[in-house]
Structure 1
Amino acid sequence: MKISSRAKAILAKVCQETSYITIAAIAKELDVSAKTIVRELPEVETVLKRYGLELDKKTGAGIGVHGNMTACTQVLQLLDESRDEHTYSPLERQTVIISKLLQNQAPVKLFEFASILKVTEGTISNDLDKLEPWFIEHALVLVRKPGLGVYVEGEENDIRKAIVHYIYENIKEDQLLDLVHDNLVENPAVKTASLKETQNYLLDLVDVNVIHKLEKAVRDVETQMKYQLSDNAFVGLIVHLALAVQRLRKSEKIEINKDFLNELQEKKEFSVARKISEKIADLFAIAVPDTEIGYITMHLLGARNRYSSHGASMNVVDNFHLVKLAKSMMRIAQQETGKALLQNEKLLVGLVNHLGPSISRLKMKMDIRNPLLEDMQKHYPELLEISRKCVKDLEHELDLVLPESELAYIAMHLGAAIEDSDQLSKIEHRILIACPTGMGTSRMLASRIQKEYANLKVVDVISALHVNNLYINQVQAEFVVSTVPIPNCMLPVVVVNSLLNEVDKEKINKQIVVLGETILKQAAKMPAPYDFKTHLMQLNEYSRAIVDLLDSFFFAEDKEASTIMELCENIGKLVDRDAAKQKDIMAALLNREEYGGTVIRGNKMILLHCRSAAISHLTFGIIHLNQYEVQTEFETKIEQIKTAIVMLAPQNAHKYSLETIGYISTILLERWGLIELLHEGDQKLIYLELVKIFKEFYQKKYKILLEG
């Protein structure tokens, strides 16, 4: 039997009551008007009569059920088993009302809302009372005229801001990302099933078919201009453009200060914005005025772009000034926490990269959204308070007031740096990291472990075949973390997945408990004398490995492969012309896969790597694929693979060569924007980034080996 959820709620209430209950009491509990409850009573009576029960209405007392108690119990059982006819909650009703009002400039009659939401006009009027402060907060006026209806008045800029704010307030950024990147590519007419019905009302504010066309248009401009946005910035821009298209179709134009528009037209981003506007004009047969182009420019200026090959004009404040401001913040944070933060280069770079776009957005009076704000306020209020103190000089100098969302971002940077500082004082356990090759998944695993565990020191990353008792005694490791089992090892071996999931962490935690909180006792050793010649030779090995990798770098698009086997076969053909060697390389790659899948979960990427006698030199490559499905290890989840990273090494490769090629997998998940670049970049962009990565690697090694 199909019963509305509101009728079910009323039935449950009256069947559980031993006496009468007033209509007002039920209405208050369900957060609707008394009229709405009265309207549901005929359905309630129909259900009760089927079980020989009667709904008694008594003036001054309310309503109650007359009949057999057993029958009441049967009704309650029916309620558990029956299907719901959806009834909107108060919050859901408000979502629908706001969505309808923001997209309609013409008045909407109350009975129209009442009909959609299956409540009385009195309930709608009550909902509007509750919503009025929200509209005021967004500089909008809720106008209610008897006989005419209800509508919103305000500046076009404020209306658009309110729409974007409400979308982000009610739909998570990852859902929007999923909507733009996946669902619309497959079928632009179908809204994602992961969204609730009321969330789909919000998406009516931005036509999904328009989003689909815009996605392709912006991607085309990105390719032409070599200007690539991060995923979140891309989604934010698409939402803004979709909204602009719909508003322009209704002749709702946005205004912008003329002097400010002239200033924007001098920016490099304005030419990118103009290209986008030209695409929009062609696609939708609408004129895009300069004011709209100005607003697109503002979005580009306030976004983080991915590895643009051009000089960035995006920051309102120059880089030298940003460094100065960041160091000032670090100095205050160090005074407040007592932690050594001033020398933390990672914190300095992180703050500078973050502050540039953020200050630009604030200067242009654009919102800064932080999906983790609530979590930060709840769990790390002390970090937020430190951030508040750190930004005082910045706010004074730039005449800005930083919102809580921005303070939370700064708090996240400071929190990570404080954790880095704390690691210095914790007890360390010495561990080895091993995998079948010692260069790919093991390097990624080492990076994840160092991030997750402050008290684990990775003394080496090696091939599982090279873990022997003599070597273990030399490095004085306490246990081994490996992606494959290592038989007859004198140390405990914890076998984990290269991406270090929660089950793996539990295994490592148990091993740490077994070891206890004690430091491995060692005989005091004299420091080894500095050997310039040995260090120079080691540096030479790194140089040779880098040159090999840059010379051998390849980029390919494989639209045919639909399985890992086919992909491995094609890799063999790409890197060697000899048929026998092609087969050997394919076999080595597949053999590595048998030890455990190398899919990088959640990133649409696979890291195919191996060592083989068929490989003569270090080789690194990127292959873009038609997405195909792979079932990930330890899970039933299906992973869509979009890009393959290929890392190949000779069977007898030197440990320093393996360390060099393995450095890429070490930073893969840590380096901001790298995964996006590997997915979206062309051969030139990826090669230039590879040069940057190996230059940084070489500089680090030079500093350690020759400068001490």
Structure 2
Amino acid sequence: MYVSARERKLLERLLADDRDVTVGELAEELNVSARTVHRDLQGLESVLRRYGLGLAKKAGVGIRLVGAEENKQALAAELLRLSHHEYTPEERQLMILIALLEATEPVKLVSLAHDLNVTVATVSLDLDKLEQTVEAYGLSLIRKRGYGVELAGSESAKRRLISDLLFRHVDEHEFLALMKETIQKRADDPFDTMAEKLLGLVDRKKLTVIEKQIEQVKEKLPFTMADSSYIAFVVHLALAIERIKRGEAIHFDQQDLQAIQATKEYEIAGVLAESLERAFGVDIPKEEIGYMTMHLMGAKWRSRQGAVMEEPSLVVGMKAQQLIRFVSRELGVDLSVDCTLYEDLVVHLKPALYRLEHGMGIANPLLDQIKQDYAELFVIVADGARQLFGDIPVPDEEIGYLVLHFAAALMREKKGWKVLVICSSGLGTAKMLATRLKKEIPDIVSLEQASVFEWKGKDVSGYDLVISTVPLPEEYGPHIVVSPMLTEEEARKIRECLERKSAAEKRMEKEPMARRNRPALDTMKAVRRISETIIHILDGFSLEVVKVRSVHELLADACRRLERNGVIVDADVVLEELRRRESLGGLGVPGTRLALYHARSFAVLRPSLTMYRLDAPQTAAGMDGKPMDINTVVLLLGPADADEEMLAVLSHISSLFVKDEQTLAILTHGDEEQVHLLISAHLEQFFDDYWTLAKE
């Protein structure tokens, strides 16, 4: 069987999608006219008949490949076996880039032309087109007669290009398979597909070793990485080890390196670097550890609990609240009361802001679909984000993920089936799938998202259904695999599954009550921990007017008083932790006259919130790095081993200090009774929301 490169691409596109695709879509993807697509489809009908397949065409709807699944798989296998004598221009250019990235010396154009089965003139034209691609990464092509062609530029830029090529052209499922046992068995097999040629840039044998080293430091991470960030980190380390061995040093600005050396992420990266040095017999310089740290700081989070309490500054929380208020005004819908939206945005924005400030891009394979499905919301969020972040350019990929959080909030409901969504692209994709699920099946509510790497061994007894966007091995338990955008067929399959489950539950109604009520007992215990934390906070709250003194003296007196009252056991330990927090950045809340000092320590026995109103303003460093006048010092403390429920309460209290203008006015100028009443009302609402959700 012979098909041209364009026909092969057309067949691969139709095989990859079960939904109807319009000729216009195909023409746009292939960069040809609709007439050309019609002509190619007509020419492919004989090929399809040979495999017992056909094309279903619906006017105004589109085209779909129809036939038995095994026939489709046979055709897909044949396409893989085909010798690619003819590459598309895009494939040729990708092949040239791979060759240049792998080369340690200039590559002759004649050699490239021979490998690609084209003329030297064609290779020269491809190189002309590649100039713009590599320039975007700060790289350049050196081309001289008799010399060949060479990719010139910094090592960090080359690695960034490799990572982007991998994420743009290799399906995430292939990455997951590559990093799991299913592909390790054929680590020495030749590369047949374009994706595998790209994966050849990464030494597959190293991935397993690297994963084992990461596992050893995993517990030290203050969060769980989304799969996409985890994959990017593993790929980065594999590239780094490979290129360190080749003597290709990376450069890191010494001032920036010094700035991040005080972070927890640098400490973790250092431990990991030592482990990798032993495993691979290489010396990893501080510059490489700096880049490892940047990956950790720019990684997408999956854990929400304690996100605000642990944040060295509340600037991220302020940005989240401002964006929520902007979108609420534009939509005419009040989203400021949605705690989940606020928490999710804080979790997303912290690494997102770091990525933006340091020019670290992020892939969003669902961007086109997001723009199509949420066109109006996308424009509003984009406008808000670009106003909010000022001079920092916010790419559409980041906007797309923010849109998913707002879309989920707009459609959030609190009744229905409990569903766990397994997703490999971070909270954003899982949120989008949850949104689609609730739209197609109103009785479903997504309570939690987890990554593939978190999934194994997870207790799923509290969920009615597990839905995954990636195939999971059988030992991971029962689940339904769907696409992030959820097709009609997938929605139907889920409905049928829930109907069967509903029928099964009716048959089990006579099951012993003690066995059925076990989850209810766990819920009551969690509610008790929430209420105990709130009682400690409200009973111990005080707002005292104090005479002008240095903030450090004020904090010392406050901690000693709390020690006398049995709230903490060692005032000096807590003071040291507060000073360490302050050294990481200012604690003044910009746009207010508040300074929020917060810490968790083993010297703290129970949660505490106290406030101190100064009789004259003091100058302090703000969270934005600028000096500001403060008239109120807030001291929020929690035990180092605080449980999930206590952290949720403390995080909610932290969020009040970046809430709306009315709340801030009371916190800044109100008396003890007014502030106590405000905090009581918010905590009561928090408890009511938690209890309502727990009962469902």
Question: TM-score band, normalised by the shorter chain?
Answer: 0.5 to 0.7
Match of 1:158 in 2: 157
Determine if the alignment matches structure 1 residue 660 to structure 2 residue 520: yes
Separation in 1, partners of 2:479, 2:364:
33
TM-score, length-scaled by structure 2:
0.52
**The structure with more radius of gyration:** 1
SS at the partner of 2:330? helix
Contact 2:306 2:648 in 1 (8 A): no
Match of 1:402, SS? coil
1:280 aligns with 2:279: no
After superposition, the C-alpha distances for 1:649-703 in whole angstroms (9 at most, x for unaligned) are 9934279937737989xxxxxxxxxxxxxxxxxxxx9996699899999944775
Q: 2 CA distance for matches of 1:380 and 1:7?
A: 32
Are 2:84 and 1:86 equivalent residues in the alignment?
yes
Aligned match of 1:677: none
Amino acid at match of 1:653: M
Q: CA deviation at 1:338?
A: 1.4
2:218 to 219, 222, 238: 222
Paired residue for 2:132? 133
1:417 matched residue in structure 2: 409
1:383-439: per-residue Cα shift (whole Å, max 9, x none)? 22101221244313xx4221111111112222222334xx79xxxxxx997xxxxx9
SS of residue in 2 equivalent to 1:401: coil
Render the CA deviation track for 1:117-152: whole Å, top value 9, x for unaligned.
Answer: 222222222221222211222221111111221111
Give the whole-Å Cα distance in 1 for the aligned partners of 2:160 and 2:509: 53
Change (3 A) 1:327 1:311: closer
Amino acid at match of 2:393: V
Partners of 1:332 and 1:390 within 8 A in 2: yes
Gapped runs of 5+ residues in structure 2? 9-29, 32-77, 421-432, 449-455, 482-488, 494-504, 525-639, 653-684
Query: Which residue matches 2:182?
Result: 183
Q: 1:199 aligns with which of 195, 199, 215?
A: 195
Residue 262 of structure 1: how far off its partner (Å): 1.0
TM-score, L = length of structure 1: 0.52
Residues 179 and 207 in structure 2, CA contact (< 8 A), matched pair in contact too: yes
**Using a 3 Å threshold, how does the CA distance of structure 1 residues 650 and 353 change in structure 2: closer, same or farther?**
farther
Deviation at 1:557, TM superposition (A): 8.2
Report how far residue 344 of structure 1 moved: 2.1
- Structure 2 distance, partners of 1:229, 1:7, is 38
**Structure 1 313/147 Cα, relative in aligned 2: closer, same or farther at 3 Å?**
farther
* 2:324 equivalent to 1:334: no
Which one-letter code corresponds to 1:267 in the other structure? T
Q: How does 1:590-629 map to 2 (within 5 A)?
A: 627=475
Q: Which amino acid aligns with 1:657?
A: N
What is the match of residue 406 of structure 1? 398
- Distance in 2, matches of 1:146 and 1:455, equals 61
Aligned match for 1:388, one of 373, 382, 385: 382
Q: 1:122 to 1:412 in 2, by over 3 A?
A: same
Answer yes or no: is the 8 Å Cα contact 2:108–2:147 preserved in 1.
yes
State the match for 1:510 in structure 2.
Answer: none
Whole-Å separation in 2 of the counterparts to 1:129 and 1:292: 33
* Shift in Å, 1:298: 0.7
Q: Is the 8 A contact 2:307 2:347 kept in 1?
A: no
Structure 1 position 248, deviation (Å): 0.9
Change (3 A) 1:314 1:90: farther
8 Å Cα contact 1:322/1:355 also seen in 2: yes
Higher relative contact order (CA 8 A, sep 6+): 2
Q: What's the CA shift for 1:379?
A: 3.7
User: How many Å apart are 1:6 and its aligned residue?
Assistant: 8.2
Indicate if the aligned counterparts of 2:173 and 2:470 stay in contact, CA closer than 8 A. no
Structure 2 counterpart of 1:243, which letter?
Answer: L
Q: What do the CA deviations read for 1:159-188 (whole angstroms, capped 9, x no partner)? A: 221111111111133322232134345554
Q: CA RMSD in A?
A: 5.2
Task: For residue 379 of structure 2, give the secondary structure of its aligned residue in structure 1.
Answer: helix
User: Deviation digits for residues 346-371 of structure 1, max 9, x if unmatched?
Assistant: 22122111111111222222112222
Contact 1:599–1:605 (CA under 8 A) maintained in structure 2 = no
Residues 629-655 of structure 1: CA distance to partner in whole angstroms, max 9, x if unpaired?
A: 8798999x9xxxxxxxxx999934279
How far apart, in 2, do the equivalents of 1:284 and 1:176 lie?
Answer: 22
CA contact (8 A) 2:301 2:348 kept: no
Q: Shift in Å at residue 93 of structure 1? A: 1.1
- State how 1:461-480 maps to structure 2 within 5 Å: none
Distance 1:310 1:632 in 2: 31
SS in 2 for 1:135: helix
The answer as to whether partners of 1:94 and 1:131 remain within 8 angstroms in 2 is: yes
Q: Tell me the residue number matched to 2:38.
A: none
Partner of 1:142: 141
In structure 1, the gaps of 5 or more residues are: 10-29, 32-79, 425-430, 434-438, 442-447, 462-498, 500-555, 559-566, 568-588, 590-596, 607-625, 638-646, 665-684
| Paired residue secondary structure (2:337) | coil
Secondary structure, counterpart of 2:150 in structure 1? strand
Q: Does 1:367 align with 2:364?
A: no
| 3-state DSSP of counterpart to 1:293 | helix
